[in-house]
Chain A
């Protein structure tokens, strides 16, 4: 991967764990995966952000790293709500599940959603970012 050649403009990280958000931000910026990282600590905040910026093409993320196991609303519940969002959002955003779960059921369920293009295991590493960009 070439430095300073950003793969994505804006990436959103949805994770309740502070350390994971921190790591994601660090890795993404270190390997110039995206110009901007929007970190939210819950699925509800993520939905709020997306619906608030429905009309603002610039503000919407190109890619969302979505955790599964989160309090209040988990990743799957987020996907159900996401389904109700306007088409323009869903068209722009690619969702990648980023979880520490090794349950095959979780992976199957996630990939059933038409908006999820990949399922990755934590931690996020340079190797995994390269995999994403090579899709």
Chain B
């Protein structure tokens, strides 16, 4: 049974078994001394009322024994206590020693607790094995942290060499046993790593360091102590670090950019990444061998720019610049450099770290872009068209320079002003209406024509297109390009006026032609009528001859007037769409010929027309064509032939009608073929016509979108092949 005080100390501090074992005897003696002291004190108290020498002597010997047990100096108790006060003094000494001893135990406990915490933090478990007897006969000492590392609960297994061995990965057990036996036999140490298959099933990597201790007297191995570290995490971290390092190295090696560091004190290149070879054409070694190489390759005209940054670096500021170098292959490359300086405590530049990248491609693209922009800018500025961009509130956000030439307003004057400021109030509604198609069809140009107010306050006519590009981020507005059309408008106006005048003239001409037809023809018809009448009133041969000449002359004049009339009508009058009955038409032609040819026609007219189909054209014009062709055939018949004729063949097809007018008349010499359709052309002086007939035929066919083919041979006759499209 422990003394309650001691029990309390032990309970509170729970010292590790090993330390307690070491001082077990001490504790036992302390305990015994306490118990004795307690008992003796009771006796003493009983006897105190009657203290006797014997009692004092007994008490003194108990105190002396206790003092000895506690390790006190025996010399102090050599003389026996004789009086009660002496005994009380001695009891005080014993009490003090006891208190010192307990303090020492507490200190020990503190240290043990500290060691335990350290083990936990370091994930290091400690152990101790007694080697004096059979290795498995006694329970070893395993620290709490060792239990943790092994994943087993204290008390769940025997703390022996072999139960420990069983927790080691089977593949690593051989190593463990070899190293341990080697250490024991050589009284030495071991330091190995092996895997633990822990109680909770996970695999852990440990580092185990053991040391064999020997009996100082016999030199025999007495015990082995050691420490087992859990290095699972450490190893994992190490591996991760290694692979991260490897990746970083790969990156360093394969980066497009050159990474470098320079020691500015020794002017030495510390580091230069392999990309150097690609960017400069020189390898990192070249750069290290010649610390000035980086500057030498910079183009002379750019060197100053680069060197001018040195003071900045010296003052500790990072720099960023762009310059050109000559690559080892002779080509010029653009580089972009970022440098961070490091200053020492005295503010002296000691190191530079930088990244150089090849931006040649970027520069080229930038230059191309600049050129492009310049091109478009000059296009816009040199264009006669004004180009503007207005935002959704119709305020100008861009105005091209050409606006000044057109309106007198400079772009600056017009910026942020509203379009409506320059447009007639009456046209404002039209502008608003235009916004509808613009918003419905972004990107589709809408035409406009407006008077625009210039700087002098006059109105100029403009014409152009506006396109909704509000959705285009780079534009963000309505783009308009337009031009001054005032001059054109003026021309248009004068054109309209002259057009009106022309119409008037045309009408007058029409009326004139009508008058000609009547007023010129009426007297001719009267004279002709009277001549014919007079011919019937006389028998005088000479008179009759004169009348005939007069009549021929007047008829010729009449035909001429009629031809001019037909020509004028063909040129002026719209094509009418009428159903054309060719049989009817040829009947009319025939009857009008009767009056013209004075009844002397010996030419027979053969007509071949199929049952009429639905053919539509301008009846008057078709009549003019037939009239002229048939009357030509009548006029120029061959007197040496017994059967002079003109044959008219009409045939219909889907597209229209084919008309063939063929005669066996005198024909036309080939040398005239080119000219017979010319105005006023006459084959010979014998020709009685006006020279307008075939010209009129050709013009009329053209007007009806028809075609004309012609062949003729003197002495054989003439053939006209006409096609007229059906206008239905």
Residue ranges of A at the interface with B (Cβ–Cβ < 8 Å): 17, 19-20, 22-23, 26-27, 30, 68-69, 99-104, 121-127
The answer to whether B533 and A17 touch across the interface, beta carbons within 8 angstroms, is no
The answer to whether A23 and B518 touch across the interface, beta carbons within 8 angstroms, is no
The answer to whether A122 and B518 touch across the interface, beta carbons within 8 angstroms, is no
Bound together, the chains give a CA A126 to CA B528 distance in angstroms of 13
The answer to whether A101 and B517 touch across the interface, beta carbons within 8 angstroms, is yes
The answer to whether A19 and B530 touch across the interface, beta carbons within 8 angstroms, is yes
6 A-B pairs within 8 Å (CB atoms) are namely A17-B522, A17-B523, A19-B530, A69-B519, A121-B525, A121-B595
Bound together, the chains give a CA A17 to CA B530 distance in angstroms of 13
Residue ranges of B at the interface with A (Cβ–Cβ < 8 Å): 514, 517-519, 521-530, 532-533, 536, 562, 565, 594-595, 620
The answer to whether B562 and A123 touch across the interface, beta carbons within 8 angstroms, is no
Bound together, the chains give a CA A109 to CA B420 distance in angstroms of 58
How far, in Å, is B391 (CB) from chain A's closest CB? 63
The answer to whether B514 and A19 touch across the interface, beta carbons within 8 angstroms, is no
Task: Using CB atoms, name the residue of chain A closest to B562.
Answer: A102
**6 new A-B pairs (CB below 8 Å) besides A103-B517, A104-B620?**
A19-B523, A19-B530, A27-B529, A100-B521, A100-B522, A102-B517
Bound together, the chains give a CA A121 to CA B522 distance in angstroms of 10
Bound together, the chains give a CA A102 to CA B533 distance in angstroms of 22
Task: Using CB atoms, name the residue of chain B closest to A125.
Answer: B532
For A124, list chain B residues within 8 Å (CB): 529
For B514, list chain A residues within 8 Å (CB): 103
Task: Using CB atoms, name the residue of chain A closest to B528.
Answer: A123
Q: State whether A23 and B565 are in contact (beta carbons under 8 Å apart), knowing that A30-B533, A100-B521 are contacts in the complex.
A: no
Bound together, the chains give a CA A127 to CA B591 distance in angstroms of 12
For A101, list chain B residues within 8 Å (CB): 517-518, 521
Report, nearest first, the 8 A-B pairs whose CB atoms are least far apart: A123-B529, A122-B525, A100-B522, A19-B526, A100-B525, A100-B521, A23-B529, A123-B525
Task: Using CB atoms, name the residue of chain B closest to A16.
Answer: B522
Bound together, the chains give a CA A99 to CA B525 distance in angstroms of 9
For B521, list chain A residues within 8 Å (CB): 100-102
Most buried by B among A20, A69, A100: A100
Q: Which of A68, A69, A99, A123 contacts B530 (CB 8 A)?
A: A123
The answer to whether A100 and B595 touch across the interface, beta carbons within 8 angstroms, is no
How far, in Å, is B629 (CB) from chain A's closest CB? 18
Bound together, the chains give a CA A100 to CA B532 distance in angstroms of 16
For A17, list chain B residues within 8 Å (CB): 522-523, 526
The answer to whether B620 and A27 touch across the interface, beta carbons within 8 angstroms, is no
How far, in Å, is B237 (CB) from chain A's closest CB? 114
Task: Using CB atoms, name the residue of chain A closest to B595.
Answer: A121
Bound together, the chains give a CA A104 to CA B525 distance in angstroms of 18
Bound together, the chains give a CA A100 to CA B527 distance in angstroms of 12
Bound together, the chains give a CA A76 to CA B620 distance in angstroms of 22
Task: Using CB atoms, name the residue of chain A closest to B532.
Answer: A125
How far, in Å, is B17 (CB) from chain A's closest CB? 144
Task: Using CB atoms, name the residue of chain A closest to B594.
Answer: A127
Most buried by A among B521, B525, B532, B562: B525
For B519, list chain A residues within 8 Å (CB): 69
For B526, list chain A residues within 8 Å (CB): 17, 19-20, 23, 100, 122-123
The answer to whether A69 and B518 touch across the interface, beta carbons within 8 angstroms, is yes
Task: Using CB atoms, name the residue of chain A closest to B534.
Answer: A26
Bound together, the chains give a CA A23 to CA B519 distance in angstroms of 18
For A20, list chain B residues within 8 Å (CB): 522, 526, 529
Bound together, the chains give a CA A22 to CA B534 distance in angstroms of 12
How far, in Å, is B172 (CB) from chain A's closest CB? 128
How far, in Å, is B461 (CB) from chain A's closest CB? 43
Q: State whether A100 and B518 are in contact (beta carbons under 8 Å apart), knowing that A121-B595, A122-B525 are contacts in the complex.
A: yes
Bound together, the chains give a CA A101 to CA B514 distance in angstroms of 8
How far, in Å, is B513 (CB) from chain A's closest CB? 10
The answer to whether B533 and A122 touch across the interface, beta carbons within 8 angstroms, is no
How far, in Å, is B79 (CB) from chain A's closest CB? 178
Bound together, the chains give a CA A127 to CA B532 distance in angstroms of 11
The answer to whether B529 and A125 touch across the interface, beta carbons within 8 angstroms, is yes
For A22, list chain B residues within 8 Å (CB): 530
Most buried by B among A22, A103, A127: A103
How far, in Å, is A106 (CB) from chain B's closest CB? 9
The answer to whether B517 and A30 touch across the interface, beta carbons within 8 angstroms, is no
Bound together, the chains give a CA A105 to CA B527 distance in angstroms of 25
Bound together, the chains give a CA A101 to CA B620 distance in angstroms of 15
The answer to whether B565 and A102 touch across the interface, beta carbons within 8 angstroms, is yes
For B530, list chain A residues within 8 Å (CB): 19, 22-23, 123
How far, in Å, is B593 (CB) from chain A's closest CB? 13
For B524, list chain A residues within 8 Å (CB): 100
Bound together, the chains give a CA A108 to CA B536 distance in angstroms of 33
How far, in Å, is A124 (CB) from chain B's closest CB? 6
Most buried by B among A30, A102, A103: A102
For A102, list chain B residues within 8 Å (CB): 517, 521, 562, 565
Bound together, the chains give a CA A68 to CA B522 distance in angstroms of 11
Bound together, the chains give a CA A23 to CA B526 distance in angstroms of 8
How far, in Å, is A115 (CB) from chain B's closest CB? 22
How far, in Å, is A13 (CB) from chain B's closest CB? 13
Bound together, the chains give a CA A121 to CA B518 distance in angstroms of 11
Bound together, the chains give a CA A123 to CA B525 distance in angstroms of 5
For A123, list chain B residues within 8 Å (CB): 525-526, 528-530, 532
Bound together, the chains give a CA A126 to CA B533 distance in angstroms of 9
How far, in Å, is B406 (CB) from chain A's closest CB? 53
Q: State whether A23 and B533 are in contact (beta carbons under 8 Å apart), knowing that A102-B517, A121-B595 are contacts in the complex.
A: yes
How far, in Å, is A112 (CB) from chain B's closest CB? 16
How far, in Å, is B301 (CB) from chain A's closest CB? 91
How far, in Å, is B77 (CB) from chain A's closest CB? 172
The answer to whether B562 and A122 touch across the interface, beta carbons within 8 angstroms, is no
